[in-house]
Structure 1
Amino acid sequence: MPARYTKKPSYQILSERIIQNIITEFFILLILLVCTQIITENVVHKYSYYSYKQAKRAFVQESNYREPHRYIGPAFANVQKIWDIWDFASFNFLNIIHHEQNFTGEKKDQFPFVFNMGLMIGVPRLRQIRVKESRCPQKISFIDIHAKKCYPNYLPKSEFKGTFQQIDYVADAKSLKPTYVTYTGGGFSINLQHDYTDNRKILRNLIKARWIDSATRLLVIEFSIYFQDINMFQVLKLMFEIMPTGLVMPSAFIQGIQLTSFLTLTPVTISAGAIFSIIVIYYTYVEIREIKWVGPSAYKNNFYNYVDVLFLIAAYCVLFYNVWHIVTIKEIEKVYAKNHKRYINMDKLSTGWNVYLHMLGIMNALVWLKPIRFVSFHRSIQQVLAAMRVSIKSILGLCFFCLISIYAFAQLGCIAFSQSNEEYTTEFSSIVAQIRFLMSDISYTSLEDAHRVLAPFFFVVLAVISYAIILNLFKAIYLSADSDVKKQLIINDMVIARMLQAGFKRYLCFWRKRKTAQINLTPRLRPTEKSPGISAEDQAKPTSNSNQQMKIVTELRDLIAVQSENCARIEHMMEVFFDIMENIEKLHNINKISTERKNN
């Protein structure tokens, strides 16, 4: 089967009908860009960041509920020991959610509203994750050490999933990664109440029962708030990661979730969503038609096809989520109406919203990459692509050397600086630190504080390898390929621009008959043959007269371009020659004048 040209917007072969199709596709893309922008602007509320910032200040960074002559416990960020957790939960946390309820005309002991504005969805709950008791690995013979039980680091296989203090293990939450370890979505849970006195009593009983002990590896205080004025949920998880040393690492998860989707917001967003759905279906048809037309093997060799397929995947994920979001919100409303004095789990909605934002961001980025196809005929883009094709093997070899160097220094940094520098605590963070070094983002002072002897050597050698070798080699490889391509590449961008300009003027005259004659304008390297015509192998092939004529015309055009450049070079050489002759004549005249003066 002979190779077929793509049916998508392309400048390899042009005719009046193809130009009309390109302009139509461009207008469809403009509509898609407008609809995508409307959808994106309405998904992220302008108060989302400020709501996150203020919630973090209220629950995490500081305590604004200090009363004279009354102990309220440490702030969340200052929790260091297990007893600090109980102080924070018993005093600071309860004061935040029960503070000044009398402004709403309700009893002080009730807290259906947080900050008098946000409705508490259900009640908060405490959830802990425990590990099984293990054999003590120590080899030092101390009586006091042998009398103590040992509990390992957290691993999924070492997690305790039985019954603890008459509470059964329940896996009804999403996995969490507070600092370094990822914890599964389960644990032993206790719900708080709407009454302040009852909550104090619950916490006192937990303290007496030693509900948190050496086997606890994670404690989570989780709850959800709904702000009616801006139609937004806020899911909060205050996490305390208890290390085997007994110290506590606090961290917080705060996420805002819109109540409505773009399918249920305003007539403008609903219309944009409907048009967006139609365009996505149309692009699906275009991709299926393209695969059938050019074949799977030729389809996968085009880079732009990968952009289109990824866009369709992200777009269908966005559309599916908006339908799923409406159904999930209805389920949460039913659960709340049935019993609002229990913990209402919104982890599923939170996970879905997180994936939705990622897919929406990917889709938006891919939509803005689509216009590149319509300006791909320009000389600069063609030169960049041709230079990359010529130098791809050298660049891949340089990338392999770069990856080895980055990983080697990442291992060195992880071993040498991990105990006192947060950027080198894990292998992945250490690799990221080396990549940031390439972008000139590095703190030498922190390295020197971690190791005064090794830090200068590490910094200097990494700087030499990064800047003096890797970046300069990449520039040299690309610039060499680019200079070679500029001499050989023939690009008809001005011809294409004039044809597009003429085609756009006739675009609205859709009743006119389109010309079917096609012109091959594919960018290529200059031919090495000195004379025009067709080679013997091409003449032996059975081709039609029109194809032969088109090929002869194309080769003649290429030859004319080569000869034009040769003429320009000859003209430049002649100008240089004339300049030299003029300079020689001037020198001759100067010598003649000087000789006459001497004789006189």
Structure 2
Amino acid sequence: FAEGPLLDGLYWDTWYNNTTLTFQNNNSHIYYENLLLGVAQIRQLKVRNNTCSIYPYFHTLLEDCYSEYRYRAEDRSNFGLWNKSEWKYTSASSLAPWYWGSMGLYSSGGYMFTLPKSKQESVEKLVFLRNNSWLTRGTRVVFIDFSTYNANLNLFCTVRLVVEFPATGGAFTSSHIYSVKLLRYVTYYDYFLASCEIAFCIFIIIFIIQEVIKIVKLKKEYFRSAWNWLDLLLLVVSILAIAFNIYRTVKVSQLMEELLSDAHAYPDFYFLAFWQVLYNNMIAVNIFFAWIKIFKYVSFSKTMTELSSTLSRCAKDIIGFAIMFFIIFFAYAQLGYLVFGSQVEDFSSFQNCIFTQFRIVLGDFNFETIEAANRILGPIYFITFVFFVFFILLNMFLAIINDTYSEVKADFEVIPSQELQLRDLFRESCNKALVKLKLKKPEMDANLADESTESHAGFSCDFFFFKPSAAERSHLKLSKLQQEKEELHPSTEDTDLVTAQSYVSTAEFQQLFRYTAELAKELNNTNAKLRKVIKSVQ
């Protein structure tokens, strides 16, 4: 393969009509558009002899024994023609990523060499290594790495061709291709993205300052909120993403300088491509949690409050159910692994058994394979698993959530609706922003109706939204209740003035109504707690 198809794919020297191509600096253009960066590198990993045990009966028949690849069994001694680098073990840096193959986890070092720029010289070198047995019985994996650059799309493509040699004999091939954009800032759109990245960095700095202020104010109370832990997670992931972005830009510049200085060297763009993929995964997780954070700001919706209350109230029941579910689930997974593991690929490992059983629950499964593997236990396994897991356990899970949701919905129907209108939320947020900008005097009265009447003297706005934090809401709620209680129970000095009035104003009626609603809410919460206590006693 290396002497034929590999070299034909790396060195494109003829056009489609068989005319000879001439490129600058003897460079190769794969598929005529992808510039081969530097040269390709071939690397192998071996294991030592006698790294496994031979049964005594076969000592007279077998002398050598090479185990499957393990890091401790790796052979690092020189062999063959010691005077050349391809026969000497080369260690890799500690930051170089290991390769997780189909047969094992492989380190980054090994015996390696690079191919020349000329196709004819590459053929001669491969023939020389084959004649001198560069590959041995102890060889467990061979890596072929090279990188290309497509100027039309401004994309780097790092290619890794892998051939694994398991201890059972034979060869297992695979390939990994990473197409990444390592040169970020080329077009005007790229510079626009750069400005967005700068704005993101500024936002992260402001976010860090806000979180530090919260930690200083709340201290230990800050870490008791799950939303605060989510904010810290978003901050950490964002900081790591920014740091890698800077490192990636610097490292690409260094690699390009080395490549331009020595065109016969192998540029290790696989290292950057691998971490670029991890960077993309990290950004994906960050965006996922950023979307989850939206639930923090939609608690004014009655529907969302009902859903969150349902999940929080049935959490203990779900945990208890999950323990019972996974006991039965893992029992069936162990049964499937032991019965069908040697004959059915979907049950070849315990991990595959778990994924296969999830597919059975979803209806995606080939029953004929396990029936052919064992005509007695196969149908018994399938029928009982579907009956217990699908028909009984899953319906129990749905019954737990449905029963809890019915209770929560009944409780919310008794409690008066305390949802804030969006118009009131916008007004409250705008007024607070105007106060901070010193465009409006601060008002001590928290009543939204009073704020709307008093705001005619200055600026006002009804089109912005503000969502106070949990600590601020609880503080405002307590102060508001205290103020309403004082207004409902005035001092003796003001009794004459109150009795002199023969009517109740709209603002006073709203205060009375809100206070009554708060009392009703507290009473319902107490009743719910009493019901739980009675249930536990029964």
Structure 1 residue 276 and structure 2 residue 232: aligned? no
Q: Secondary structure at the match of 2:99?
A: coil
Aligned runs of 1:205-354 on 2, under 5 Å? Answer: 205-261=128-184, 266-296=190-220, 298-354=221-277
Structure 2 residues not aligned, in runs of 5+: 449-466, 469-478, 490-511, 525-538
Decide which of 419, 423, 427 is 1:494's aligned counterpart: 419
Structure 1 residue 394 and structure 2 residue 313: aligned? no
Q: Secondary structure at the match of 1:270?
A: helix
Separation in 2 of the partners of 1:551 and 1:261?
A: 66
Structure 1 residue 434 and structure 2 residue 343: aligned? no
Name whichever of 93-102 and 206-215 sits farther off.
Answer: 93-102
Structure-1 residue corresponding to 2:69: 154
Structure-1 residue corresponding to 2:462: none
Q: Which amino acid aligns with 1:556?
A: T
Structure-2 residue corresponding to 1:170: 90
How far the C-alpha of 1:119 sits from its partner, in A, is: 1.4
Q: Secondary structure at the match of 1:344?
A: coil
Alpha-carbon displacement from aligned partner over 1:324-346 (angstroms, at most 9, x marks no partner): 11110111012102211122222
How far the C-alpha of 1:426 sits from its partner, in A, is: 2.2
Name whichever of 412-421 and 257-266 sits farther off.
Answer: 257-266
Alpha-carbon displacement from aligned partner over 1:528-550 (angstroms, at most 9, x marks no partner): xxxxxxxxxxxxxx999527448
Q: Secondary structure at the match of 1:479?
A: helix
**Is contact 1:263-1:270 (8 Å) kept?**
no
Decide which of 483, 487, 498 is 1:546's aligned counterpart: 483
Separation in 2 of the partners of 1:109 and 1:333?
A: 16
Given the two structures, how large is their TM-score scaled by the length of structure 2?
Answer: 0.77
Q: Secondary structure at the match of 2:135?
A: coil
Separation in 2 of the partners of 1:122 and 1:278?
A: 39
Mark the CA change 1:478 to 1:243 in structure 2 (over 3 Å): closer, same or farther.
same
Structure-1 residue corresponding to 2:327: 404
Structure 1 residue 96 and structure 2 residue 9: aligned? yes
Alpha-carbon displacement from aligned partner over 1:546-584 (angstroms, at most 9, x marks no partner): 2744899555224568999xxxxxxxxxxxxxxxxxxxx
Separation in 1 of the partners of 2:51 and 2:411?
A: 73
Q: Which amino acid aligns with 1:512?
A: K
Q: Which amino acid aligns with 1:168?
A: K
**Is contact 1:414-1:425 (8 Å) kept?**
yes
**Is contact 1:383-1:486 (8 Å) kept?**
yes
Q: Which amino acid aligns with 1:153?
A: E
Mark the CA change 1:312 to 1:563 in structure 2 (over 3 Å): closer, same or farther.
closer
How far the C-alpha of 1:270 sits from its partner, in A, is: 1.7
**Is contact 1:262-1:322 (8 Å) kept?**
no
* Higher relative contact order, structure no. (Cα contacts within 8 Å, ≥ 6 residues apart): 1
How far the C-alpha of 1:434 sits from its partner, in A, is: 2.5
How far the C-alpha of 1:101 sits from its partner, in A, is: 3.7
Alpha-carbon displacement from aligned partner over 1:128-154 (angstroms, at most 9, x marks no partner): 1000111663336458732x4111111
Separation in 2 of the partners of 1:415 and 1:320?
A: 47
Mark the CA change 1:474 to 1:519 in structure 2 (over 3 Å): closer, same or farther.
farther
Structure 1 residue 118 and structure 2 residue 38: aligned? no
**Is contact 1:109-1:197 (8 Å) kept?**
no
Mark the CA change 1:514 to 1:191 in structure 2 (over 3 Å): closer, same or farther.
same
Decide which of 368, 374, 379 is 2:291's aligned counterpart: 368
Q: Secondary structure at the match of 1:246?
A: coil
**Is contact 1:226-1:234 (8 Å) kept?**
yes
How far the C-alpha of 1:408 sits from its partner, in A, is: 1.7
How far the C-alpha of 1:100 sits from its partner, in A, is: 4.1
**Is contact 1:122-1:343 (8 Å) kept?**
yes
Q: Which amino acid aligns with 1:369?
A: I
Mark the CA change 1:544 to 1:367 in structure 2 (over 3 Å): closer, same or farther.
closer
Structure 1 residue 450 and structure 2 residue 373: aligned? yes
Q: Secondary structure at the match of 2:38?
A: coil
Structure 1 residue 382 and structure 2 residue 310: aligned? no
How far the C-alpha of 1:419 sits from its partner, in A, is: 2.7
Q: Which amino acid aligns with 2:31?
A: F
How far the C-alpha of 1:493 sits from its partner, in A, is: 4.7
**Is contact 2:13-2:22 (8 Å) kept?**
no
**Is contact 1:379-1:491 (8 Å) kept?**
no
Separation in 2 of the partners of 1:396 and 1:548?
A: 42
Separation in 2 of the partners of 1:212 and 1:242?
A: 11
Aligned runs of 1:53-202 on 2, under 5 Å? Answer: 88-102=1-15, 105-106=21-22, 111-134=27-50, 137-139=53-55, 141=57, 145-146=61-62, 148-165=63-80, 166=82, 167-172=87-92, 173-202=96-125
Q: Which amino acid aligns with 2:192?
A: V
**Is contact 1:98-1:108 (8 Å) kept?**
no
Decide which of 548, 556, 560 is 2:516's aligned counterpart: 556
Structure-1 residue corresponding to 2:443: 515
Q: Which amino acid aligns with 2:55?
A: K
Alpha-carbon displacement from aligned partner over 1:485-543 (angstroms, at most 9, x marks no partner): 22224364533445225447868866233434448999xxxxxxxxxxxxxxxxxxx99
Q: Which amino acid aligns with 1:133?
A: N
Structure 1 residue 472 and structure 2 residue 398: aligned? no
Q: Which amino acid aligns with 1:557?
A: A
Mark the CA change 1:156 to 1:143 in structure 2 (over 3 Å): closer, same or farther.
closer
Q: Which amino acid aligns with 1:305?
A: N
CA RMSD in angstroms, aligned pairs only? 3.3
Q: Secondary structure at the match of 1:129?
A: strand
Q: Secondary structure at the match of 1:158?
A: coil
Given the two structures, how large is their TM-score scaled by the length of structure 1?
Answer: 0.69
Structure 1 residues not aligned, in runs of 5+: 1-87, 523-541, 565-600
Alpha-carbon displacement from aligned partner over 1:142-167 (angstroms, at most 9, x marks no partner): 58732x41111111110011212222
Q: Which amino acid aligns with 2:53?
A: P
How far the C-alpha of 1:127 sits from its partner, in A, is: 0.6
Q: Secondary structure at the match of 2:142?
A: strand
Q: Which amino acid aligns with 1:432?
A: F
**Is contact 2:51-2:73 (8 Å) kept?**
no
Structure-2 residue corresponding to 1:9: none
Separation in 2 of the partners of 1:435 and 1:300?
A: 36
How far the C-alpha of 1:465 sits from its partner, in A, is: 2.4
Q: Which amino acid aligns with 2:517?
A: R
**Is contact 1:233-1:258 (8 Å) kept?**
yes
Mark the CA change 1:154 to 1:105 in structure 2 (over 3 Å): closer, same or farther.
closer
Q: Which amino acid aligns with 1:94?
A: L
Separation in 2 of the partners of 1:543 and 1:382?
A: 22
Q: Which amino acid aligns with 2:199?
A: I
Separation in 2 of the partners of 1:139 and 1:354?
A: 45
Q: Which amino acid aligns with 2:250?
A: V
Mark the CA change 1:435 to 1:108 in structure 2 (over 3 Å): closer, same or farther.
same
How far the C-alpha of 1:104 sits from its partner, in A, is: 7.6
Pairs aligned (count):
457
Q: Which amino acid aligns with 1:409?
A: Y
Using the aligned pairs only, state the percent identity: 22
